[in-house]
């Protein structure tokens, strides 16, 4: 074992994307220690069948390229929503002939408005790549840590070649939700994720999850797929994520409309997440409608980019009688504006059905913002007695917490969030490296530091 090669291919290619996994990858790579007990840690990408050391993960500070990449990201999200609309329309069309005509029309429109511009943007941005990477020769005994979201990449054959040439493969697992809760995703994504997990099951030598909850789920799923005998030859561990908002700019302005939400004396409850079915925004609205009906003046602020399968929810918000009075929605907040929301809200509310970790929890609580969350195992792991929990089977459960907190001023958790502590991204990155290395028997490693919230 000679080096730890931490892979970040997707984020390297799309440095302006800032949702869940991308945020994790960027922070882990930017805080990656140079070495752990003499073992060198190197950020790498795999492109066109070659391995490269990353010199700079983010885009070069060239205004034209930065603006182009930002525009490309927005255009890509618009293209995704465009095809979601087509899929909904296709299900309602009356005949095969009409569906075929609609498909051709959508394909031609997508080609002109999205595919060609996105390919041109990608080709232009490729000119930056040689300045952000240098070739790297792998060595037998290297350990390749697949940190990024590799299920939509094309480097599988190259990774298999590296393994044949003596490189170990370690997979970071964020969650198994497309397998355990496929109803929350499009069928194609479920298929792609399942095929990727089949590949990673046959390829990886070990697995590092982002919570103990997910680690145990991964171990169970690997045993189911490979059988106990083969699974026992693999190793399973976890690390925890950090809490800083690394893209926050001290000199940047907070979005004025957001700032006005917090200028009144009424308490503001903040929900931060992509808007998609798994996050359970309908439950959130049900609970606050009950609280408002009981006389609550609380404000609900929903912050998160628009995801998938959420048209009905968006229509419900946009047509809600409390919109811009006690209900607010923001779909493109900067880290600076999000920091403002975290530091001025009264409580985070997080009614998700299932999570691999729950990054907004630690982002909020580390800033002293107490959190109310669904009573699921991973939230208990992260928040312990410092969170308040509600029953997803009954929206009144959350409504009662909101009204009770508003009237008493006493947050309904067993312990005060002021005494809660969590790791930063530097510690999280070191934890990933250390816990990977401690599972490799040929590497002498000092006792691994343990990181957890205060008892």
Q: Is residue 249 part of a domain?
A: no
Alpha carbons 216 and 236: distance in angstroms, whole number: 8
Question: Maximum Cα–Cα distance for the chain, whole Å?
Answer: 67
- Domain around 184: 1-242+423-455
CA distances, 215 to each of 29, 179, 277, 385 (Å): 21, 15, 24, 22
Nearest alpha carbon to residue 47 among 8, 19, 4, 3: 8
Share of the chain above pLDDT 90, in %: 65
Nearest alpha carbon to residue 372 among 304, 289, 287: 287
Average pLDDT over residues 316-322: 95
pLDDT of 111 > 90? The answer is no
Q: Residue 94's pLDDT band (boundaries 50, 70, 90)?
A: confident
Q: Is there a contact between 247 and 320 (Cβ–Cβ < 8 Å)?
A: no
* Domain of residue 335, CATH code: 3.40.50.2000
CA distances, 199 to each of 101, 166, 196, 224, 225 (Å): 37, 18, 5, 15, 11
Q: Residue 452's pLDDT band (boundaries 50, 70, 90)?
A: very low
Phi, psi of 249 (to 5 degrees): -115, 120
User: 79 or 381: whose pLDDT is higher?
Assistant: 381
Amino acid 81: pLDDT: 67
Among 132-146, 362-376, 404-418, 434-448, where is mean pLDDT lowest?
A: 434-448
Alpha carbons 327 and 285: distance in angstroms, whole number: 9
Query: For residue 26, how far is the Cα from the chain centroid?
Result: 11
Q: Is residue 248 part of a domain?
A: no
pLDDT of 265 > 70? The answer is yes
Question: What are the strands, taking DSSP E only, across 50-113?
Answer: 50-54
Amino acid 444: pLDDT: 42
Q: Are residues 410 and 275 in the same domain?
A: yes
390: β partners: 374
Q: Is residue 438 part of a domain?
A: yes
Q: Residue 326's pLDDT band (boundaries 50, 70, 90)?
A: very high
Q: Are residues 166 and 98 in the same domain?
A: yes
Amino acid 127: pLDDT: 58
pLDDT of 449 > 50? The answer is no
Average pLDDT over residues 265-293: 96
Query: For residue 295, how far is the Cα from the chain centroid?
Result: 36
Amino acid 68: pLDDT: 65
The count of C-alpha atoms lying within 13 angstroms of the C-alpha of 320, restricted to the half-sphere facing its C-beta, is 22
User: 75 or 373: whose pLDDT is higher?
Assistant: 373
Q: Are residues 234 and 325 in the same domain?
A: no
Q: Are residues 370 and 428 in the same domain?
A: no
Amino acid 125: pLDDT: 61
Average pLDDT over residues 297-317: 93
Q: Are residues 427 and 409 in the same domain?
A: no
Average pLDDT over residues 354-377: 94
53: β partners: 44, 134
The count of C-alpha atoms lying within 13 angstroms of the C-alpha of 225, restricted to the half-sphere facing its C-beta, is 17
Length of the chain: 455
Alpha carbons 43 and 57: distance in angstroms, whole number: 9
Amino acid 248: pLDDT: 60
Q: Is residue 251 part of a domain?
A: no
pLDDT of 355 > 80? The answer is yes
* Domain of residue 124, CATH code: 3.40.50
Alpha carbons 95 and 197: distance in angstroms, whole number: 37
Q: Residue 437's pLDDT band (boundaries 50, 70, 90)?
A: very high
Alpha carbons 48 and 215: distance in angstroms, whole number: 32
Amino acid 448: pLDDT: 35
Q: Are residues 282 and 143 in the same domain?
A: no
Among 82-91, 97-106, 281-290, 410-419, where is mean pLDDT lowest?
A: 82-91
Q: Is there a contact between 110 and 82 (Cβ–Cβ < 8 Å)?
A: yes
Q: Are residues 283 and 360 in the same domain?
A: yes
The dihedral built from the CA positions of residue 276, 277, 280 and 284, taken in this order, carries a sign that is: positive
Amino acid 66: pLDDT: 58
Neighbours of 89 (CB within 10 A): 13
Q: Are residues 107 and 229 in the same domain?
A: yes
Amino acid 59: pLDDT: 65
Alpha helices in 271-320 (DSSP H): 281-293, 311-318
Q: Are residues 218 and 331 in the same domain?
A: no
Amino acid 227: pLDDT: 93
Average pLDDT over residues 19-46: 91
Alpha carbons 427 and 247: distance in angstroms, whole number: 18
Euclidean distance between the first and the last CA atom of the chain, given in angstroms as a whole number: 36
Amino acid 450: pLDDT: 37
What is the token pair recorded at 365?
A: 């609580």
pLDDT of 316 > 70? The answer is yes
Q: Are residues 195 and 303 in the same domain?
A: no
- DSSP assignment of 114-147 equals IIHHHHHHHHHHGGGHHHHEEE----TT-EEEE-
Alpha carbons 50 and 392: distance in angstroms, whole number: 47
Write down the mean pLDDT value for the chain.
87
Q: Is residue 278 part of a domain?
A: yes
The dihedral built from the CA positions of residue 428, 432, 433 and 434, taken in this order, carries a sign that is: positive
Average pLDDT over residues 154-173: 93
Q: How many domains does the chain have?
A: 2
What is the token pair recorded at 38?
A: 């003499």
3: β partners: 40
Q: Is residue 432 part of a domain?
A: yes
Q: Are residues 392 and 444 in the same domain?
A: no
pLDDT of 151 > 90? The answer is no
Q: Is residue 113 part of a domain?
A: yes
Q: Are residues 237 and 288 in the same domain?
A: no
Nearest alpha carbon to residue 361 among 377, 342, 346: 342
- Which helix (H) or strand (E) segment holds residue 171: the answer is strand 168-173
Q: Is residue 362 part of a domain?
A: yes
Amino acid 112: pLDDT: 81
User: 244 or 207: whose pLDDT is higher?
Assistant: 207
């Amino acid at each position: 074992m000679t080096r730890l090669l931490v892979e970040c291919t997707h984020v390297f290619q799309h440095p302006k994307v800032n949702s869940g996994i991308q945020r994790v990858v960027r922070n882990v790579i930017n805080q990656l220690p140079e070495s752990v007990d003499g073992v060198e840690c190197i950020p790498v990408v795999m492109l066109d069948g070659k391995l490269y050391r990353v010199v700079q993960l983010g885009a070069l500070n060239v205004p034209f390229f930065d603006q182009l990449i930002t525009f490309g990201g927005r255009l890509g999200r618009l293209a995704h929503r465009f095809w979601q609309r087509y899929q909904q329309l296709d299900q309602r069309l009356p005949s095969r002939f009409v569906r075929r005509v609609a498909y051709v029309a959508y394909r031609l429109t997508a080609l002109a408005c999205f595919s060609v511009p996105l390919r041109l943007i990608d080709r232009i941005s490729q000119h930056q790549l040689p300045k952000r990477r240098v070739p790297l020769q792998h060595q037998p005994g290297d350990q390749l840590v697949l940190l990024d979201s590799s299920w939509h990449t094309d480097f599988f054959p190259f990774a298999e070649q590296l393994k044949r040439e003596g490189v170990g493969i370690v997979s970071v697992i964020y969650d198994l939700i497309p397998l355990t809760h496929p109803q929350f995703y499009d069928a194609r994504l479920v298929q792609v994720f399942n095929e990727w997990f089949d590949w990673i099951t046959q390829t990886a030598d070990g697995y590092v999850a982002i919570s103990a909850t997910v680690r145990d789920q991964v171990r169970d799923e690997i045993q189911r797929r490979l059988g106990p005998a083969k699974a026992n030859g693999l190793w399973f561990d976890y690390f925890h994520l950090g809490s800083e908002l690394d893209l926050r700019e001290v000199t940047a302005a907070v979005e004025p409309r957001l700032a006005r939400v917090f200028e009144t004396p009424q308490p503001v409850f903040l929900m931060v997440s992509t808007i998609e079915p798994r996050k359970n925004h309908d439950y959130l609205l049900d609970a606050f409608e009950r609280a408002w009906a009981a006389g609550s003046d609380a404000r609900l602020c929903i912050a998160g980019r628009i995801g998938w399968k959420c048209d009905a929810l968006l229509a419900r918000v946009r047509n809600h009688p409390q919109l811009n009075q006690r209900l607010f929605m923001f779909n493109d907040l900067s880290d600076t504006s999000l920091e403002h929301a975290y530091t001025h809200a009264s409580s985070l509310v997080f009614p998700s059905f299932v999570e691999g970790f729950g990054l907004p929890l630690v982002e909020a609580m580390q800033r002293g913002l107490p959190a109310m969350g669904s009573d699921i195992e991973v939230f208990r792991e992260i928040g312990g007695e410092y969170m308040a929990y509600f029953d997803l089977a009954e929206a009144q459960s959350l409504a009662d917490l909101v009204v009770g907190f508003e009237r008493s001023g006493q947050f309904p958790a067993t312990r005060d969030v002021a005494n809660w502590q969590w790791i930063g991204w530097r510690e999280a990155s070191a934890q990933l490296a250390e816990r990977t290395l401690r599972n490799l028997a040929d590497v002498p490693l000092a006792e691994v530091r343990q990181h957890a919230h205060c008892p």
